[in-house]
Amino acid sequence: MKNIQLLLLTLCLVFFTNCTTTGSQTAPRTADHPIYLQLYSVRDDISKDFDATIQKVAEMGYDGIEAANYDNGKFYGMTPTEFKDKIEGLGMTVLSSHTGKALPADVTTTNWDEVWSWWDQCINAHKEAGMQYIVVPAMPRPSTLEALQVYCDYYNQIGEKCQAAGMKFGYHNHDFEFVDIEGQLMYDYMIQNTDPDKVLFEMDVYWVMRAGKSPVEYFEKYPGRFKVLHLKDHKELGQSGMVGFDAIFKNLAKAGTEKLVVEVEHYNFEPLKSVELSLEYLNNTLD
């Protein structure tokens, strides 16, 4: 009788363990690439309750975050140290931040002293917050190659400053970069005229697809330039069936990708549910 009772107790414990480890948690990570969340994905929730939102993101299993609210030395109204402590206290990494300072429409009128003063403060704040990357999320579309070259030179100099501070600098695309300027494709010109040692490209694979281009073809054309990828779909990842994530994931080494960042801008569900479903999709799809 005692042996039967012991066997039943063991079976119950096994059943309980399986239930608690597979219930509401995401699928186990099978890939070597950590996965981060661009916090713009949960912007409305953050505006209501930052702490509760970030805690839910951590509980989902995201490895870290990419910020989208840098302003005058602070992140989401917090000092760099306060922000870092909040994120790391939940077991996540402060990976990167979307921010930048656009030049005036007439780039020849740029007050460079003011520009570099802004960047010095920005870089110091990001370093204090533990950031690995600073990424410019967008830029004005120049009408001439001369103006675009000013931006390329500008980005090289920012990259040099970030490098000196122990960080990396990059640019995040939308679809407007895939237009001709004086006979040259803007995105290609930017890649060709920035220093690979100073400027990386955080490719947003959804916007590349929306521009009628292939992310994998860009990986092949410019290997190693896409250190960070923005994984985005029309809504939740994998929802549209249009992006071709399988081919992208098979070519991460060629792209030089080190980090994967999820961004969800539009939703079929509540934002927190959508970002959780997107993480589950990656955990079940990545090799």
Residuewise pLDDT in 10s, the chain (287 residues): 444 444 444 434 333 334 333 333 443 444 468 999 999 999 999 999 999 999 999 999 999 999 999 999 999 999 999 999 999 999 999 999 999 999 999 999 999 999 999 999 999 999 999 999 999 999 999 999 999 999 999 999 999 999 999 999 999 999 999 999 999 999 999 999 999 999 999 999 999 999 999 999 999 999 999 999 999 999 999 999 999 999 999 999 999 999 999 999 999 999 999 999 999 999 999 86
Helices 50-60, 271-285: crossing angle, 10 deg rounding: 20
In this structure, what CATH number is given to the domain that contains residue 272? 3.20.20.150
**Dist. CA 154–CA 108, nearest whole Å:** 12
Beta strand extents in the chain (DSSP E only): 35-38, 64-67, 70-71, 74-75, 93-98, 133-136, 168-172, 180-181, 184-185, 200-204, 228-231, 259-262
Number of domains in the chain: 1
| Spatial contact of 244 and 275, defined as CB atoms under 8 Å apart | no
In the prediction, which pLDDT does 287 show? 64
Which residues contact residue 156 at a Cβ distance below 8 angstroms, ignoring those fewer than 6 apart? 194, 195, 198, 199
In the prediction, which pLDDT does 16 show? 34
Residue 17 lies in a domain: no
Residue 32 lies in a domain: no
The structure's pTM equals: 0.89
Phi/psi at 119 (nearest 5 deg)? -70, -35
Residue 88 lies in a domain: yes
Residue 15 lies in a domain: no
Instruction: Please report, as a single letter, which amino acid is at residue 247.
Output: A
**Residue 122 CB burial class (10 angstroms; 0-12, 13-18, ≥19):** buried
Residue 63 lies in a domain: yes
| Closest residue by Cα to residue 263 from 92, 137, 74, 75 | 137
Q: Which residue range(s) make up the domain with 177?
A: 38-285
Residue 28 lies in a domain: no
Residue 48 lies in a domain: yes
Residue 26 lies in a domain: no
Q: How far is CA 159 from CA 120, 134, 194, 224, 261, in A?
A: 12, 9, 9, 16, 20
**Dist. CA 120–CA 101, nearest whole Å:** 12
